[in-house]
Amino acid sequence: MARNAFPIQTFSQMSPFAPYFIGLDLWRIGVESQAVIAMRTLGMMGLWATRPAEVTRMVQEKPVAAFAAWQAASLAMMRGAGLEATTRAALRPVGKRTGSNMRRLARLGPGICG
């Protein structure tokens, strides 16, 4: 009997902790993105020291992050990764972007930046 070249991973084959860790990743990305939104909003109101290019940056980075997530998930699937690995691969580029944005904006702090 021939082996399936593209095995399909079911939920019963995943680690029992996989949904927990994926949920933690989603929670962290959500918290970081809300912090970034808050700091950018405060920057637009003049209460956070953001650069003028921040508005353009927040619009331009969305399609780039979405494409990076799609590409990472696609590559993981093409390599035969299971559901957990594919999901985590898709979340990795988005999480890197939200984390770096949050750290960068938090360093600027309250005030006015030119």
The confidence score (pLDDT) of residue 9 equals: 55
The closest alpha carbon to 76, from 91, 66, 64, 61, belongs to: 91
Q: b or e along 78-92 (b: 16 or more beta carbons within 10 Å of the residue's beta carbon)?
A: eeebbbbbbbbbbbb
Mean pLDDT per 10-residue segment, the chain (114 residues)? 54 77 96 97 92 92 96 95 92 96 94 67
Tokens at 36, concatenated: 């970034």
- The predicted model scores a pTM of 0.82
Are 61 and 97 in contact by the 8 Å Cβ rule? The answer is yes
The pLDDT score that the predictor gives to residue 27 is: 98
For residue 92, which of 111, 69, 114, 108 has the smallest C-alpha distance? Answer: 69
